[in-house]
Structure 1
C-alpha cells in the first residue's frame, strides 16, 4: 500500500446543507464503500433524518410545559428504543405479536423476553382489546417497563366515518396508558403517536386526541404526585404535529427554542461536548452517576469490594440497596481485567460494572485505568446499548483531573475505531466539580481541533462537527492509505452532491432489505416529499429516487448507507459460514457457542493474536483455550481444523499485498491487461486461506483443473471479494444471458464487454481468478441452477457458458481470487 493520502473537498452552501442532514450516513457509506475516513468540518451536526442506519439520533426536546401538581408534558424527537424514561409505550396489536413498525423495533431492542412476556399475557387473558393496554418488564431497553397499548387500526385511506368510529377507541387506549402509569407509580412515560403509523390513523387528529386526553386526565386530578409525560417520535411530521397540538391546548412552551440533551437525571452540555466516534456517541453530562438511566453504570471500588468506601461507590450502594453488596462478594474477576458484574437492583440500569484500579503511585496505574475503561466498553458492546462512567481515579487513587480526562477519552477513541455496534457512552461529572468538567471539555475540544488538522490521522472520528463561522468554509476531509480509494471517494462525493431531480442507485443488495428498511424508505419518502421506487430486472436491482434535487441527494446518501449495511450484513453471514466450514470452536459445557457466528468471531480474534474474547457474559482465554462465565465457572474450549491446519495470514484469514510485474501472478495479469490495451496502475495479490481450503476441496471433488478467468467489479466490492470470494450480488453483468450465477470471462477484453462502464468510477477494476468449470453446458437466461446431467435432479452440470469466453458458476467455492488489477480509464469499451 502507498503512504496515507489525504484530500480536502470544499462545500458550497447547498452541499453543506445536504451533509448537515445526513452526515453520519455519508461518513459511514464512504467508510464501507472505499475504506476511507470522512471528516465533516465546519458543519452543524443535524442528523434530522433520524435514520436507524445512519447513527444515533440525539434526543431533541421541542416543547415543554409544567402543569399544576408537578406534571410536566414535553415533546421530543428521539428514538423510542433509546429514550430514557421509566416506561415506554408500544403500539401493539390485539395478539401482542411485535412483528412490524415500532413494536418490532422495541421488541428487537428489548430482546426475546419482550415477546415471551407478551405471549404469556395472551395465554392467560386472551387478546388485548382495542383501547386497552397491558404492562410488561422492559428487557434490555433503557427503561423499567413497557406499556403495550392497542390502538384502532384503519384502512390505508380511511373515510371520515371510519375515523369518527375509531377516535373513541384511540382515546380509550391513551386513557388506559395513563391509568397504568398512575397505578404503578411510574414517574416518567414516553408515548408515541399511537395508531398513526401502520394503523393509518390521521397524524394530526392522533396528536389532538393524545394531548386533549392528557389535559382531561390532569383536570380530573387523576395524576398523583410528580410525573413526566414525554410525547416521543423519531419522524419529523409526527413531532411537528405533537408540538402543534401541545401549543394549541397547553399554550406556548416553557423552553426557549429547541435543544438537544440527555433525558432526566443528568443534563448534557452543549454540542461541543458531544460527538461521534465511529459507532460510539460520546457525551459529557453533569449529574449523579447513581441517577443515570442507562443499560450499564460503571463503579470504582477498593480491592476488598466494600461498596461503602468512596463517595461514588457509597452513593451507588445507598440507591441500589444491600443486595448489590451481597452479590459482589460472590462474584469472580473478569478473566481479562479487574471487573465485577452485578445486577442494578434499585438503580435505573440492567448491570453495574465494578472496577478495581491501581493508585496513581503505581507505575502501571495509567495503563490499568485505560484498560479498565476499554474493557468495560467492550463488555457493554456485547449486548447493551448505553453505558455511563463517573470520573474514575480522581479520589483516593490520586490521579490529576486532566489525566483522568485524557486517559478515559483515549480509551473511548480507541474502542470507537473497531467497534461494529452502536453504543452510547456518557461521562457523568458531579455538578459542583467544575475543574473536572473543564478538564473533560478541554479534552474534547482539543480532539475536535485535532480532527481538522492534516497532520493528525483521526480514524475514529466519523463526524467532527464544529460551529461554522463566517471565515471558515465547510469541507469534507478524506483520509485513506490508498490514493485510488481517495480519488473514488472524492468523485462519489461530487456525484452524490450534484443537483439532479432523479437518481438511480444500482446495487443488488436491495433484495436483502427487511421490513425496517422498507418502513424507513417510506418515512424518507414522506419527510422529504420524494418518490422512491425499487427495481430488479435482468439480474440487476437498485432504487430510483425522484424529487427536489437537494432532497434527492439527501435520500440517495441515506439509501447508499442502507445498502452498505445490507451489504455488510450479507458479507458477514457469508464470512461466518465460510470460516465455520474450515475451523470450528466448541465447548461441551456451553454447546451454544458452536454456532457459525460465535465460532467465526472466536477464530478471527484468535488469528488476530488477541488473548481474550468476551461475549454474552462469558470470557474466553484464546491462548489457554479456557472459558469463564461471570460466576467464575471454567470450561475447556476446543479449536478444530476440519480440512487442514489453519494459520494466521497477517493477523487475519485474508490479505491484500502489493504485487509486482515480476511475480508469476503479476506477469500473467500484466500480459492479459497489455493484450487488452489497458494501462496498469497497481496490482495486488489476494489471499484467503479459508476460501483456498474450500476451493482445493472442490477441485478434488470435481477432478478438474482450474481455468484462469477474469471479472470486472466496482471499487466497493474489491475487498469483499478478497474477504468472502465471488458472489453474484457483487458483480452482476449488464444482462444475464446464460443463467443467474457468478459470471467470468476468459479474457480481459471479454470482461470489459460483459460488464458496462462504471460511469462515475475513476479506475477500472479487474480481478484475475482460478475458476473450476467442471462439466459445462450452454447456458440460458432462464437457468437459476445448471440443468441435470441425466434424469437424477441432484446430478447437475457444474457450470454454464456461451462456449466461447463467458462462464457462469453457481458456488463461490468454485472460484479463488488471485489478484486485483487496477487500470487507468481509457476510451476502450
Structure 2
C-alpha cells in the first residue's frame, strides 16, 4: 500500500477506562509486538501492574526527529521521576546536595541511597565543577542510572552579558552528559531544561543551547555510531514549548539555519528575530526556504500536473519526473485509466520512488483566467494538508501557480498561507511541518512569502479566507475535540507495523467475556509470572487458564468483558517480556557459537553472557564497554580492572573472521527481486493476494552456523517457506527459526520447525492467523538432507540404523511439508509481505 494509515485511534469511554488501568502494559506490548510507540492522550492513569513492563504510557511526545538512523531526538511533556529511559539527568549543584527542585523530586522518588551515593562521590573526589557531570545508580526510579549534571547559575534577571558568559558552561554540561551516555553504552537518556529552574537561566536560550550542543556533538562524531535516544523532558508547558520550538528549528532536516530568539507564544506568532523563515499555527509549523522541491527530504512533496497527466510538462513536474524515474509516470498512467477524469479529483498520491520522500501528491489546478481559479488553488492546498496530516508528519510545497497557471506571486503567497493558517485552526490535533520551497533565484517569490508571513504576527483570519471557505463548507466543518481520549501510534519501521498495531489494539478492546492469547512462550513464564497471573485473577475478577496442546500454547481469560480486556493486555505484556528474554538468550548462544572474548586471569569474561555483551558492543562500534566495574577497550583489546591494572583481551572467531554491517550482525533491507517475486506470485491469484513489500534478511552469525551444518548434510539446501506472525519477523532475522515462533495449527509430523515447499502450502499449513492485516512469508534455505515420514510423537528424527546417534536430518509428510529440529539448519533469506485484495 502506498498510503500510510492514520495513526490516531479515538477511544470511547469504556475503552479509555480499560487503558487507564493498564497503560504501561499496553504501551510495552505495542512496542515489543510491532515496534511502535504508543502515546495515550486524555486517558486517566488508574495504576499499573506486571512484570518489568516499560513504555511511554502517560507521557506526551510533542516532536521527534532523527539526526541519523541511530540518533533520535524527541521532545516530551512528562514527569521526569517516572519517565522510562535508561538514564535521567538531574539538574544538580556542585555539592550534589539534592535539597530542592528537580533534584529533590528525583532523590525522594529514588530513595535515600541516591543522596548517599552522591555524598560518597563528593567525599572521594570533591565538588563537581560547573559544566561537569557524574553517574550514579537510580535507586527506585524506573531507570538504570542518574546523571547528575551541574549547569551554570545566573541572577534572577540576568543581563545579556551574564547569559553570554554562562552559555559555554551550559554547553559543556550537555557535552559531559552525552560523553557519559556514550562511554557507558546508555541507549536512552532524558534531559531536562538544565539551569532554567532554580538557576534562573532564560528558557529560550537554554533550549537553544541544549539543542545546538546536541547537534554539534553529533556533527563532530561524538555518538560514534551508537544507538541513542535523547528525550528532552519537562513537565511545565512553557518549557516544553521552548524545547519543541528549538528542536524543530535547529534539528529539522529541511529547515533553514535561522533560529528563534524567544518563545513561540499564542496561536499565530512568528520568530522574534529579524528572520521570518518559520511561523507557528497551532500544531502546524510553517517553514520558508530556498531549494529544489525534488531534493526535499520530507514525507511528502507536492507536484502540479497537467490534466493529461504528462509529468514532462512544466518545470517542477519535469524535475520530479527526472529525479523519481519513469515508474512514477507509469503509476500516474495506470490511475488515469481507472479514474474518469483525474482533474476532478484534484489530488492523487504516488510513491516517491527515487525521490527522498515517501509519497508525491500530484495536484491539478486551473489557469488564473478560469472561473473559481483562486478557490481551486486554495482547495488544492487544503486537500494536500488534510491528506498529509492524516498519514504523515512533514510536507513540502513549491510555489504553486506562478508558472504556466498565470498567478501573481503575491496572490500565490496569500492563498497558500491563508490555507495553511485556516487548516491549522480547524485541525488542532494534527501535528505537521509544512515547507514552502522557493527556487533559489526567485527572490520575488521569497519576498512575497516573507511579507505574508510577517503579516501573520498577531493577525486574525482575513475576510478573503472566509470567502475561500464558502466554496468548501465540508472541509471547514472538520474539527477534532481536544478532550477526546485517543491513542497515538508511532511506527518505528513501517506502515504495515502501524496497521497491525491498530488492528491488535481494536481486537483487545472489543468487548468479550472470553479471550484466547496464543503464544508458545507461555512455557517460559517463571514462578514470579505465575504468581502475577494469580494476582491478575484477583485484581480483575477473571479466570485465567494456561494451555499447551498439539504444539500450541497460550492463555485463556474469561470474565466480565472490560475486565477480560484489562487482564489480556497485562498478559500480552508479560508474554512479550518472556519472549524477549528467550530471544536474548538465543542471541547470546548463537554469538557464543561463533566468537569468544577472553582475558587471562579474568575467567568470567568468557561466559556466554559477558562474551555476547562484549561482541554486540564491538559490532556496534563502541570503543569502550564497562562490565562488572571493569573497563574493556574493544578497539585496543585491553581491560582495566577496579584496581587500575591492565590486561590483554582476546576476540577469537571460531569459524571464520567477520565484521559487522549496519553496526550489528543482522539487518533487513528492502529489495525488488524479479526471481523471488515470480516464484512468490504463484500464490497471489489462488488466495487473492498482492505483494506489498519484500525485504532481504541478512545475519552474519546465522550464515556461519548454516554453512557449518551445510558441510555435514550431504544434499543441497531446499528453498522453503514459513508463514509467521507480524511480531516474529524481526526476531527470526535476529536469531533464526525457532519452533516457538511459528507452530502450525497441528504438529502432525513431529515437534519441530515446520516449512512448506510452496507459498500456497505455507498458507494452508498456517491458517489461524486471519486476524492479522497482512500475511508474512519468510523464504529460507533449509538443509533437509536425509528425511523420512514424520509422526506426532517425534521430538527428534528417528535413528537411521541401530546407532542412536546416527539420525535422519529431517522429517516430512512425503509432500510439501518439511520439519527440522535445529534452527541452524535453516537460513532466513527474504521476507515477503502480502495484502489481501479486499484491504
TM-score by length of 2: 0.58
> Offset at 1:597?
2.4
Give the conservation status (yes or no) of the 8 Å contact 2:749–2:794: yes
Name 1:773's counterpart in structure 2.
784
Whether 1:477 and 2:281 are equivalent positions in the alignment is: no
In the superposition, relative to structure 1, how do residues 316 and 749 fare at CA in structure 2: closer, same or farther (>3 Å)? closer
- Aligned match for 2:83, one of 246, 267, 276: 276
SS of 2:723 mapped into structure 1? strand
Give the conservation status (yes or no) of the 8 Å contact 1:738–1:780: yes
- Determine the C-alpha separation between the residues in 2 that align with 1:767 and 1:340: 47
Whether 1:701 and 2:701 are equivalent positions in the alignment is: no
Whether 1:569 and 2:581 are equivalent positions in the alignment is: yes
Name 1:26's counterpart in structure 2.
26
> Offset at 1:425?
12
SS of 1:787 mapped into structure 2? coil
In the superposition, relative to structure 1, how do residues 548 and 804 fare at CA in structure 2: closer, same or farther (>3 Å)? same
Name 1:49's counterpart in structure 2.
48
Name 2:174's counterpart in structure 1.
370
> Offset at 1:575?
0.7
In the superposition, relative to structure 1, how do residues 597 and 283 fare at CA in structure 2: closer, same or farther (>3 Å)? same
Whether 1:287 and 2:299 are equivalent positions in the alignment is: no
> Offset at 1:545?
0.6
- Aligned match for 1:729, one of 737, 740, 743: 740
Give the conservation status (yes or no) of the 8 Å contact 1:778–1:803: yes
Give the conservation status (yes or no) of the 8 Å contact 1:294–1:388: no
- Determine the C-alpha separation between the residues in 1 that align with 2:763 and 2:53: 35
Give the conservation status (yes or no) of the 8 Å contact 1:16–1:474: yes
Whether 1:327 and 2:140 are equivalent positions in the alignment is: no
- Determine the C-alpha separation between the residues in 2 that align with 1:419 and 1:41: 26
- Determine the C-alpha separation between the residues in 1 that align with 2:561 and 2:585: 36
Q: How does 1:53-64 map to 2 (within 5 A)?
A: 53-55=52-54
- Aligned match for 1:550, one of 554, 562, 578: 562
Deviations 1:294-322 (A, max 9, x none): 779999xxxxxxxxxxxxxxx999x94xx
- Determine the C-alpha separation between the residues in 1 that align with 2:125 and 2:641: 15
Most deviating of 2-11 and 775-784: 2-11
> Offset at 1:791?
2.2
SS of 1:807 mapped into structure 2? strand
SS of 1:637 mapped into structure 2? strand
Give the conservation status (yes or no) of the 8 Å contact 1:298–1:387: no
- Determine the C-alpha separation between the residues in 1 that align with 2:728 and 2:545: 24
In the superposition, relative to structure 1, how do residues 622 and 18 fare at CA in structure 2: closer, same or farther (>3 Å)? same
- Determine the C-alpha separation between the residues in 2 that align with 1:699 and 1:603: 25
Name 1:641's counterpart in structure 2.
653
Q: How does 1:57-96 map to 2 (within 5 A)?
A: none
Name 1:690's counterpart in structure 2.
701
Deviations 1:671-704 (A, max 9, x none): 5656766321211111111101100110001233
SS of 1:527 mapped into structure 2? helix
- Determine the C-alpha separation between the residues in 2 that align with 1:618 and 1:400: 41
- Determine the C-alpha separation between the residues in 1 that align with 2:670 and 2:619: 22
- Aligned match for 1:792, one of 798, 803, 806: 803
Name 2:540's counterpart in structure 1.
528
Whether 1:601 and 2:613 are equivalent positions in the alignment is: yes
Name 1:761's counterpart in structure 2.
772
Deviations 1:767-820 (A, max 9, x none): 111000111111110011111222222222111111111111000000001111
Whether 1:746 and 2:550 are equivalent positions in the alignment is: no
Name 1:494's counterpart in structure 2.
506
In structure 1, the gaps of 5 or more residues are 59-269, 300-314, 345-349, 428-435, 458-463
Q: How does 1:28-427 map to 2 (within 5 A)?
A: 28-46=28-46, 48-55=47-54, 276-277=83-84, 287=100, 289=103, 292=107, 320=119, 327-328=124-125, 368-374=172-178, 376=180
- Determine the C-alpha separation between the residues in 1 that align with 2:499 and 2:755: 27
Name 2:346's counterpart in structure 1.
none
> Offset at 1:634?
3.1
- Determine the C-alpha separation between the residues in 2 that align with 1:412 and 1:706: 49
> Offset at 1:512?
0.4
Name 2:592's counterpart in structure 1.
580
In the superposition, relative to structure 1, how do residues 532 and 341 fare at CA in structure 2: closer, same or farther (>3 Å)? closer
Name 2:637's counterpart in structure 1.
625
- Determine the C-alpha separation between the residues in 1 that align with 2:732 and 2:198: 52
- Determine the C-alpha separation between the residues in 1 that align with 2:594 and 2:168: 41
> Offset at 1:638?
2.3
- Determine the C-alpha separation between the residues in 1 that align with 2:664 and 2:595: 13
Give the conservation status (yes or no) of the 8 Å contact 1:765–1:821: yes
SS of 1:679 mapped into structure 2? strand
In the superposition, relative to structure 1, how do residues 523 and 14 fare at CA in structure 2: closer, same or farther (>3 Å)? same
RMSD: 5.0
In structure 2, the gaps of 5 or more residues are 58-76, 92-97, 139-143, 154-163, 249-263, 265-279, 285-388, 395-428, 430-479
- Determine the C-alpha separation between the residues in 1 that align with 2:239 and 2:687: 59
- Determine the C-alpha separation between the residues in 1 that align with 2:581 and 2:136: 32
Give the conservation status (yes or no) of the 8 Å contact 2:89–2:190: no
SS of 2:7 mapped into structure 1? strand
- Determine the C-alpha separation between the residues in 1 that align with 2:628 and 2:196: 28
SS of 2:22 mapped into structure 1? helix
- Determine the C-alpha separation between the residues in 2 that align with 1:405 and 1:721: 42
Deviations 1:178-206 (A, max 9, x none): xxxxxxxxxxxxxxxxxxxxxxxxxxxxx
Give the conservation status (yes or no) of the 8 Å contact 2:136–2:146: yes
- Determine the C-alpha separation between the residues in 2 that align with 1:702 and 1:501: 51
- Determine the C-alpha separation between the residues in 2 that align with 1:452 and 1:24: 27
Give the conservation status (yes or no) of the 8 Å contact 2:688–2:837: no
Deviations 1:718-751 (A, max 9, x none): 1111111100000000000111000011111111
- Determine the C-alpha separation between the residues in 2 that align with 1:376 and 1:296: 23
- Determine the C-alpha separation between the residues in 1 that align with 2:509 and 2:90: 30
Whether 1:720 and 2:731 are equivalent positions in the alignment is: yes
In the superposition, relative to structure 1, how do residues 440 and 585 fare at CA in structure 2: closer, same or farther (>3 Å)? farther
- Determine the C-alpha separation between the residues in 2 that align with 1:786 and 1:369: 62
TM-score by length of 1: 0.59
